[in-house]
Structures are given as C-alpha cells and as structure tokens.
Chains A and B, each alone.
Chain A
Amino acid sequence: MSEVKNILLAGVGGQGIILASKILSEGLIQAGYDVKMSEVHGMAQRGGSVTTQVRFGEKVYSPIIGKGQADILVSFETMETGKWLEFLKPEGRVVVNEFEIPSAPILACDANYPQGVIEALKEKASHVTVFKAGELAESIGNIRTANVIIVGALVKAMGLTDINWEEVIKNTVKEKFVEINLKALQLGMDQVK
C-alpha cells in the first residue's frame, strides 16, 4: 500500500467526469487509502477540456502529477486521449471511451476531427482498452450510465475490484438508479481482460 498510484481522467465538460472521480475517490477512501483529487474546471462548462487527477496510497503529498507519472489514463473522448498521453508512465494503461465530440475549430470547418487516434495510441502505449460506453449504456437501458461503465473498466484495470463498490454507488447515486449503475459498473469491468 506504500506506493502512490495516479489516475488521470480526461474528457469534455458535461460527460460526467466529476461524478466518476467522486465515485472513485469514495471507494478508495472507504478502502483506507489517503486520497487527493484535483480537478480543472474553470471554463469547462463552456465546452472546454476537463481533467481530474486522483492519487491514492498510504500518504499522498502533491494533489497533481507531472508528465510520465500516471499509472492509467482514462479518456471519455477519443481525441482528448492523445492530448494527455504524455502524462502516462511508459508501462501505464490506457482506457478509451471511443466517442467523438467535435471541438469549436472542427465545427467551424477550420479543422477535421483527427483520424486514426486509437491506432496511433496502440502503437505507443502497451495496454490500450477501447470500448463504446455510450452504446453499452444504451444496451442496459440508460445512456447516462456511460460514465459508470468507464469507472468499472478503470476499477478492473487498476485491480481495485475488492473494494465494496456496491456501497459506494449506494452512497453516491439516487436509490432508483442504484441497480442500473451496479449493472453498468460490472459491464465496465467486463471490458477489461
């Protein structure tokens, strides 16, 4: 439990990254870790990039990490993954929700959405898991659970499945959404081999 682990979540405002970080942090605290979480949300509500960093271990000092330091990069949007790759350790894992949200220059026809991001990622990083959380969420009947599916994949990839996530979900979402979110969490875990 001594080594501090670093999780970097990246995406776009409105994708539920803050809630995902909250669920994750709650679970880690419940498991007895010291946890620090840092979020950048200044203008995120207005369509900008959002990242949160969650660090856990026996004792965590810095609330933020530098380049080459993340054990896992979890991206909620395809193109955002590439922007944050330099924060990943060489042996770090990548979890990508394959989903494209065009940014302002793309909408204004000044740029095209980049092609071949996933392939390029696979060439660089050794462990890349890709899935479409939105489609999976629809398959269980609630598109809004996409972020919890992503948390499930993250939990499995980081070997954190022993934590009592059922209790964490119960404490963080409304009662009528507990069951579907637990299903989503398991579905996310199943994405990581």
Chain B
Amino acid sequence: MKKFMTGNEAVARGAFEAGVTYASAYPGTPSTEILENMAQYKELIAEWAPNEKVAMETAIGASVAGARTLAAMKHVGVNVAADPLFTWGYTGVTGGFVLVSADDPGCHSSQNEQDNRYYAKFSKIVCIEPSDSQECLDYVKEAYKISEDFDVPVLFRMTTRTCHSKGLVELGERQEVPMVPYVKKPLKYVAAPATARILHPIVEDKLARLEAFSNESPLNRVEMNDTKIGIVTAGVAYEYAKEVFGDSASYLKIGMSYPLPMAKIKDFASKVDQLYVVEELEPFMEEQMKAAGISCIGKDLIPNIGELNPDIVSKALLNEERPTMSLADDKKVSRPPTLCTGCPHRGFFYALSKKRNVMVTGDIGCYTLGASAPLNTIDSVICMGGSISMAHGAKQAFVKNNVEQKVVSVIGDSTFFHTGVNSLMTVAYNNSNTVHCILDNRITGMTGHQQNPGTGFKLQGEESKQINIEKLCEAIGIEHIVTVDPLNLKEVDQALEAAFAFEGPSVIITRWPCALKKFSEQDIAEFDLSPRQYKVDEEKCRGCKVCIKTGCPSLSFDGETKKAKIDPNSCIGCSVCSQSCPFDAIGKVVK
C-alpha cells in the first residue's frame, strides 16, 4: 500500500516497522512530527522529554536494556545531547539505536544552520542521509540493522526539506524484535577512564569495518549515464542534482555519508571526466574526498550558506538561469510573524516595554517575537534556557563595575523545564539581584502545542504529574515569587515594580493558556475563557494610536477616519488594547 507522507511521518513509520519499542524527543522544528506520529502506535512507548539530553539518555538506557530505540531532535538539540552522544559512540549499543537529527538549512525556524553530519564524524558513529520520504522509511529500517550488526549508534540526518515534503511511500509491516536479554557488561558500559582507553581502539577498528561496509552497501548507489560529468551527492541535494542534470550526468548517490565509501568514490571518480560534489551546507564529503586525494569541485561553486534548490545548483554548475517576472517593490509589504490575537504574552510584554533602564534577555519560543516591533522588548536571544543565566552574568558584571542597570529575563514554561531551571539554580546560589519572568501558557506553543511536564498530559494522551513552578522556584531558593495574569496590565506592572524593589533574585510567573490551545478541563475550570469581544467607541477614540503599539493583529488604524478599529471576526476579547487606551474608548461588547 502506498501512502502520501512527509519525511517525518515516514521516519516514524519506519521506526515502527523496525520494531522500535521506545522513543523520546524534545519538540523542535523541523523534527517535532516524528514523535507526534510515533505516538499513534500502541505497540511502542513514545514520550516527550524535558530536553534533548534527557531524550537521548532515556533512549540510551532503553538500548542498554536491550530494546530498539529512537531519539529525535532538531539540529541544535544535538548540541544539548552532545555529552552522552560522544561517550555513547565509544560504548556502542545493545538494542539498535537511531538518533534523528533534523537540520535546518536556510534557518526556516532556527537560530543557526549548523551541519550535524560533523557530529557523526566527531563522535565516531554512522551517518545516514535519506533524500525523500520513501528513503526515510527504508533507511531507518536499514539503520537499525547497521546499528546492531556493528554495535554502533546511527545519526539519521534529515533536513527541513526531507522532514516536511510529502511523497508516495510504500508501507511494510511491523516486525517485532525481541529484546536482547539483559546482561551486565561493565567493561562496555561503565565509561570510566580505564574502560574508555580500552574502548577507543575498538571504535577505530569498528570505523574501518564500517568503511568497508559502506563501500559495499546499496545505500551508496552508482547511476552511470553520460560520463562527462559525475556527481557525488547526498540527501535532498541528490533530488536537486537529478532535476538539473537528469540522465546527462552520472551519479554516486551517497546514503551513508559516514564513514564515506572512499574506494567506491575513487572508482566512480576514475570513470568520469569532471567530478562535482553537490551537498547542502558544509563541504562534509568534499573535505574528506580531497583529503583522500580525489580531485573534485564543490563549495568553490555551490554556496555553503542557506538552503539549496534546483536553481542554485543550475546556476552554480551550468551558469543557467530561467527568465523571471517581478512586481515593483511598492507592490509588496513584508509579512513578518506576530504574536497572535489574544496571545497572553502580549499583555506581559506591553507592560514590560514601559519600563526604562532595563536589559531584557530572552529565550526560544513564540515569546521571542517580543523582540519585534512594535513591542521591541527583548534585547538578546541565544539558546534554550539561556535567558536566565545570561541575565545573571550580566547583572554580576554591571554590579562589579558599578553600573546601574536592571536586568530581566523572559522564558516560556517548556523552555524553563528544558534548561532554564538549571540557570535559575545559579541565580539563587550566586544570589544576583535579577528578575526572572516565566511565561506559563500551559503548553509548548511555538512547535504547535506539545504537552510538557507542566501541562498534566503525556505524549500518548495519558494524564501525568504536573510540575508546580512556584514550588520548584521556592525549592531552588528564590524567596520572592509572584504569579500574575499576563493580560492584566496593572497586575504585571505592580509585579515588576515589586520585583525591582526586592533585594535579591525574584521570579514572576505569568499564567494564562495560549489563545490557540485546545483547552483542558483544568484550563476551563481555572481561567475565565468565555467568548468575549471588544469594540472601539468612535466618539471617544482620538486617534492617538496607543492601542496599535500593542501589536495586536485584530487592531488596525483607519487612515481616513483617523480611528482605531477592531476586527470583530478575530478579536477574542483579551482586553489588552482596552487597558492601554488613555481615553477609555475601547469597551467590551455587551451581547
């Protein structure tokens, strides 16, 4: 049976068919749907972990126990999971182990475009790269075989394009794989220095055997056509090369890009006149080929910046461009993402934006949009959980150098659980006079509403324990903790003033569910979520545009009447604009 699937759906299906019994992940675009799709299979356990390191370690534990396992994350998530990864490369596996790394060339929704194939080489494990949805399914199954045959973890490298494109996929049946009976193996799994020194030469030997396998494996496939041009390519870049050159060039399509099949590449190179390497992002294969003495052209012509497409390949290698049409710039206005209508973050940011002499460190989530116009509140965003620790370091530096500067951090609930909580420990332990705002919208918002340890539900639907953020902060040693309604501007303002006045670290928790969330029974009981709407009284509106500064997409300013206007179809009555109005011109619609 053939099904039209995204790469993420196909990876989930492939892992299911391969007999995986445990999978864990932290959500992150473009990887999120892998675990969301695994959740449908009742034959396995699929879980959200609070961060990627935990996801990786739980999957490692399940593999050591003897089961086939999977961990999935976006590229920067592997940075978080890198600590276990490198030692896991030394020890090897018991049950087959696949780490899916979803890279994001073009930074569609990421803070960088790192090429995670280097992680495979760096941690001395296998790298497998699918180029379409069918290969996502087939290669995952092959990855488990390689993992177990060679006692090695596999890094399954996807990109936004392979994750999110749909293609037709031939499905198979699930094959139950019995667990390997558990046996204590301290010389394999207790990675103390003495063990590590024994393991390292074993790993090097393993890599040599894997290279021999790579030379023979059908994952690395030769397609001989005309021999004037030969192309070594991997991942979705293969599809682009085929699109541009069709049958007019020969291909060595690399599915296993570490260890590279160097003998096969040399043989292929000897049969073609001109050898190109077409790969997305960094010259991962090209560097290794050149080091092996193979003459080829890659990044001299093809950019290592941004996502590739057939156009870029065609322009780079053939110097061909298609004719295009375009409209004048005055016919286009940008459409940047904004905080949604009714977003609880809006009220909080609007109140914070009124404070002067404040450095605001931000974090990763929807609320990163608090950095954009018209709120312009966040000054820096580096990584998950970084807001709290950066605020602490900044404040220590200001104090030591006698600089008067308030410092506030802003972080979401899920990101706080991810790594923010560790940062708050240094804040309490090293005692900085900083204010930390945890924006609890009762869900992981940015990636499309995943449950987390604070929401009361697990990935496969069961109810779960909920972290009490207040109690957690208290246990860490924070003495000044206030919970507020972020849509109540006065309440947020008072909480900020009280925190600024307090000597020592303080935490402000804003608690209101995401406007797009499917509300739980608990949400409905706790919050007044009844439908409401607001309207501008044109008599009272003086056209001052103060409300427009809240950045609500349901609000606009009519240039002709010089009055503000609320779109009745989208307003959900959060009331932030009404509270911002100096003339009391925005009122609740009484029905």
List the interface of chain A (C-beta within 8 A of B). 12, 25-26, 29, 34-49, 60-69, 79-80, 82-83, 85-90, 102-114, 116-117, 120-121, 124-125
In the complex, the answer to whether A88 meets B325 with C-beta atoms within 8 Å is yes
Interface string of B318-359 (1 = CB under 8 A from A): 000111111110111111111110000000000000000000
Q: Is B239 interfacial (CB 8 A cutoff)?
A: yes
Q: Is B242 interfacial (CB 8 A cutoff)?
A: yes
In the complex, the answer to whether A62 meets B327 with C-beta atoms within 8 Å is no
In the complex, the answer to whether A82 meets B335 with C-beta atoms within 8 Å is no
In the complex, the answer to whether B556 meets A107 with C-beta atoms within 8 Å is yes
CB-CB under 8 A for A47 and B448, given A35-B168, A42-B108: no
In the complex, the answer to whether A86 meets B326 with C-beta atoms within 8 Å is yes
Q: Which residues of A contact B325 (CB under 8 A)?
A: 85-86, 88, 90, 124-125
Q: Is B553 interfacial (CB 8 A cutoff)?
A: yes
CB-CB under 8 A for A113 and B333, given A66-B309, A67-B322: yes
Q: Which residues of B contact A37 (CB under 8 A)?
A: 4, 165-166
Instruction: Sort chain B's interface into a size bin.
Output: 35 or more
CA distance A168 to B236 in the complex (A): 29
A-B contact pairs, 9 of them (CB 8 A): A36-B165, A37-B4, A38-B165, A48-B337, A67-B321, A105-B373, A106-B556, A110-B373, A116-B331
In the complex, the answer to whether B333 meets A103 with C-beta atoms within 8 Å is yes
In the complex, the answer to whether B516 meets A79 with C-beta atoms within 8 Å is no
Interface string of B535-563 (1 = CB under 8 A from A): 00000000001001101110111010000
List the interface of chain B (C-beta within 8 A of A). 4, 29-30, 108-109, 132, 161, 164-168, 236, 239-240, 242-243, 309-312, 314, 321-328, 330-340, 366, 369, 372-374, 446, 448, 516, 545, 548-549, 551-553, 555-557, 559
In the complex, the answer to whether A47 meets B330 with C-beta atoms within 8 Å is no
In the complex, the answer to whether A63 meets B239 with C-beta atoms within 8 Å is yes
Identify 4 new A-B residue pairs, CB closer than 8 A, beyond the known A62-B236, A106-B333. Answer: A36-B132, A47-B553, A104-B335, A112-B559
CA distance A85 to B331 in the complex (A): 11
In the complex, the answer to whether A41 meets B164 with C-beta atoms within 8 Å is yes
**Among B167, B337, B338: residue with most chain A CB under 10 A:** B337
In the complex, the answer to whether B236 meets A63 with C-beta atoms within 8 Å is yes
CA distance A117 to B327 in the complex (A): 8
Closest A residue, CB atoms, query B368: A43
In the complex, the answer to whether A109 meets B161 with C-beta atoms within 8 Å is no
CB-CB under 8 A for A66 and B338, given A36-B167, A124-B327: no
Query: Which 5 residue pairs spanning A and B have beta carbons closest together?
Result: A66-B311, A68-B322, A63-B165, A42-B109, A43-B337
In the complex, the answer to whether A39 meets B327 with C-beta atoms within 8 Å is no
Q: Which residues of A contact B164 (CB under 8 A)?
A: 38-41
Task: Select B327's contact among A63, A82, A89, beta carbons within 8 Å.
Answer: A82
CA distance A62 to B246 in the complex (A): 11
Q: Which residues of A contact B373 (CB under 8 A)?
A: 104-105, 108, 110
Q: Which residues of B contact A86 (CB under 8 A)?
A: 324-326
Closest A residue, CB atoms, query B165: A63
CB-CB under 8 A for A107 and B337, given A62-B309, A63-B239, A65-B309: no
**Among A47, A106, A107: residue with most chain B CB under 10 A:** A107
Closest A residue, CB atoms, query B558: A109
CA distance A65 to B239 in the complex (A): 11
Q: Which residues of B contact A105 (CB under 8 A)?
A: 333-334, 336, 373
Q: Which residues of B contact A44 (CB under 8 A)?
A: 337
CA distance A63 to B340 in the complex (A): 30
CB-CB under 8 A for A26 and B331, given A40-B108, A90-B323, A109-B559: no
CA distance A68 to B321 in the complex (A): 9
Q: Which residues of B contact A103 (CB under 8 A)?
A: 333-336
Q: Which residues of A contact B328 (CB under 8 A)?
A: 120
**Nearest CB of B to A63, in Å:** 4
In the complex, the answer to whether B327 meets A85 with C-beta atoms within 8 Å is yes
